[in-house]
Structure 1
């Protein structure tokens, strides 16, 4: 599917970019160097501009392949990258997806992620006709738990020792939201 841009109120949701007009790669490198990002978003490694370029290209390909809708959360006046939200593991036939999100260290604690997820959910339930969206995170990630609650998700279940964080087994907390 073609990427869609969304006015999310105080923020603008757009595709990640690395072109002559807007380059998110430096902000991606900075964000992924953050200790909290390395801890909770451990499945991506973005140490330099080249890796950031691959990350941007991956997100574009996932849109094209109907696997993931991913948006850069941007400051509307400057285009500054504040984070990323998305609907991953899209199953358009079943009407399901999973929320993915992270906030740039300089943008945390301002409600940006909650607002952006709300916009992504409206798109998913409205334009994609999703029936259910889940939101999973490590039990120790208190910020993600707060985001899930503020976005209206309901705690579904917990899977003990399902993931590994900092080299130790961690419980995976699963939240759900139905259309």
Structure 2
């Protein structure tokens, strides 16, 4: 699948980049070395430019294979990376996916996650024809709970596969 850009109102969603025109790697390192991010976004070590390059390459390969649609959430005038949103665990046959989002520490508290998740959901339900999208988060992550509520997800309960709680949203 080819990456697409999305206008998300006050932000735009684009592919993560590390090239001569735009380099998201320093902001990725800042975000992934933040203690809050490390607590709630596990499974990734992005602590230098080399590992940030590998992260950008991973997201590009996931787009290409159709496993995950992942967007950098960017400031529209500068292109600065404010966070990332994605649709992962894509199952086009079943019409399902799971959303994922994180916000750079300097951009938290500004509604970035709500705008980004809303745009990703519109893409998933519209362009991909998904029927439902899940949202999982650590029960202690109250900011994520707020994002789920503001984006119209319904609370399901504890996730059977782990310590997270699960929310779901069905296509309009």
Q: Distance in 1 between matches of 2:139 and 2:76?
A: 33
Q: Distance in 2 between matches of 1:50 and 1:88?
A: 24
Residue in structure 2 matched with residue 46 of structure 1 by the alignment: 46
Q: Distance in 2 between matches of 1:136 and 1:73?
A: 19
2:164 aligned to 161, 168, 172, which one? Answer: 172
TM-score by length of 1: 0.94
Q: Distance in 1 between matches of 2:33 and 2:127?
A: 34
Residue in structure 2 matched with residue 17 of structure 1 by the alignment: 17
Task: Please give the secondary structure, in 2, of the residue aligned with 1:21.
Answer: coil
Residue in structure 2 matched with residue 167 of structure 1 by the alignment: none
Residue in structure 1 matched with residue 129 of structure 2 by the alignment: 129
Deviation at 1:172, TM superposition (A): 1.4
Say whether 1:147 aligns with 2:147.
yes
Q: Distance in 1 between matches of 2:121 and 2:28?
A: 23
Q: Distance in 2 between matches of 1:143 and 1:45?
A: 22
The equivalences for 1:87-166 within 5 A come to 87-159=87-159, 163=162
Task: Please give the secondary structure, in 1, of the residue aligned with 2:164.
Answer: strand
Q: Distance in 1 between matches of 2:122 and 2:7?
A: 11
Residue in structure 2 matched with residue 63 of structure 1 by the alignment: 63
CA-to-aligned-CA distance 1:85-123 (integer Å, 9 cap, x gap): 000000011100000000000000000110011001000
Q: Distance in 2 between matches of 1:157 and 1:113?
A: 21
Deviation at 1:150, TM superposition (A): 0.5
Task: Please give the secondary structure, in 2, of the residue aligned with 1:36.
Answer: helix
The number of residue pairs the alignment matches comes to 171
RMSD: 0.9
Structure 1 unaligned runs (5+)?
A: 164-170
Deviation at 1:159, TM superposition (A): 3.4
CA-to-aligned-CA distance 1:26-74 (integer Å, 9 cap, x gap): 0000000100000000111101000000000000000000000000000
TM-score by length of 2: 0.97
Larger strand proportion, structure 1 or 2? 1
Structure 2 unaligned runs (5+)?
A: none
Q: Distance in 1 between matches of 2:103 and 2:130?
A: 24
